[in-house]
Amino acid sequence: MIRYIFTLLIISSALLHSQTGRDPRAVGLAGAYTTVSRNYQAVGWNPANLYWNDDARIKVNLGALRFRLSNSAFSLSDLNRYNDADLEEINPYTNRPIKDEFLELFGEKGWNFYSGISFLTPLVSISRDNQAYTADMQFISSATLPRAFVDILFNENQVNINYDLTLQLEMIGLIKHSFAMALPVDAGAFGLSINYLQGIYYLGMDPDSSRTFFRTDTATVSAAGEYLFRQTYGGNGVGLDIGFSSKPVGGWQFSIALNNLFSNIEWNKPTYTYHNIIRGAGFDVKRAEYTKYWYRIDDLGPETLIPIASDTTKRTTNDIFIRGKVEILPESSPFKVKYPTLFRAGLSKKLNEEVTFIADISTGFEDRFFAKANWLFATAVEIVRSPRFPVRVGIAYGGPDYRQMSFGFGLHWGIFAFDYGMAFHDGFKMNTAKGIEVALGLQLKLSRIRKEI
């Protein structure tokens, strides 16, 4: 039964429209891409790499799709292990209660679900020499069930403990338009990307105005909570990517980049997206709706449920569980959602004409969407024994997934190049991974004149 419930929850998280911007080559290299990204695929990673053409001066995207689904607690192996298990038994191998081992899967922060879809617009995303333009459509969702829910479910409510039951939910859709350019400097190349974030929709609970608790005293139970839910269509913002990439020296190359600097999307104000795209397509929706939901249980005890003889008052559920909602006028309340900033640094070594070794470190500055304030180390190898069939494999530790295994390949023929990448998140195999990522893309290569460097 446990397996079916958790599988349903995982699948449900994917149905919520949901790091984005990872093309198939980046996925196959486990994200070790700061130094070796090229052409329009360098946008969002390191714009300085636009100066180092690989095999074509002009590249045109014919279609690129990436999908990721992950959770923080369960793999297929975990679901099979705990399905129909007696959690009260002692594990004979560890001499610990099976329930304790089960609860450890949720960690301290609870159960997080993440899903992301990104789609690079065909024929529009293009690079020529040291310049590129891309339009990346992204749908992201993130939800967290707090650890306290699981503790109460399996350990019952303990006395004199305040349980934080605050749910977290954010869903966002946007188009990231980027114009990038790279220029030579003495030691290599410097790159700059100007990003316009065109917000489509945002649905979520305001983390600063949403909170809830549950407490059991020796004689009573009390609880209270409120959630500010925002739903809005149309927003915009700007941001910057900056990067540096050194000249190749003895096969070595070094790069460093900052992505999404100063990137915020301001919602709930008149925008082209809302008036001309959403309403123009026939969707009759308000630009914004804010609703605050609240509830309260005051000192619920035996005398509340079973009145004493002298008390003739009949108490109903509505008397015990007081709840309500308030519609908030959003017209004068625009708000901003931060699009996470990332730091990256990497190096690569061309071991010979066929094999390139790559290593990267990266981190976010907050735990939000695809970013985590935790260092990620990634290393990968790309083998081009046949230019028509490059092969990639990578491994990563840290970051939002703790460990990652990836692989990919390309099928390059004439002016066309197809690439595929797959990654297992928080696990090295299909049955032990807690998430999966798949990316594929097709591009057109034109004008094969190489740039001298």
Reported as a single tens digit per residue, the pLDDT across 24-50 is 999 999 999 999 999 999 999 999 999
Q: How far apart are the first and last CA of the chain?
A: 62
Burial 51-81 (b: 16+ CB within 10 A, else e): bbbeebbbbbbbebbbbbbbbbbbbbebbee
- The whole-angstrom distance between residue 129's C-alpha and the CA centroid of its chain comes to 31
149: Cβ–Cβ under 8 A, 6 or more apart, which residues? Answer: 110, 165
Q: What is the pLDDT of residue 311?
A: 56
Asked if 379 and 358 touch (Cβ cutoff 8 Å), the reply is yes
Q: Residue 50, SS3?
A: helix
**CATH (residue range 2-446):** 2.40.160.40
Structure-token pair, residue 4? 């079916």
> Do residues 431 and 410 make contact, with C-beta atoms less than 8 angstroms apart?
no
Is the distance from CB of 205 to CB of 142 less than 8 angstroms?
Answer: no
Alpha carbon distances (Å) from 34 to 64, 142, 262: 19, 26, 20
Question: What's the DSSP call for residue 278?
Answer: I
* Coil, strand or helix at 339: coil
Which two tokens mark 345? 């640094």
Report pLDDT for 310.
55
The pLDDT of residue 424 is 94
Tokens 């594990």 belong to residue: 91
Q: So what's the pLDDT on residue 29?
A: 96
CB 56 within 8 A of CB 39: yes
Residues of the chain with pLDDT below 50 are 1-18, 449-453
226 membership: H or E segment, kind and range: strand 221-246
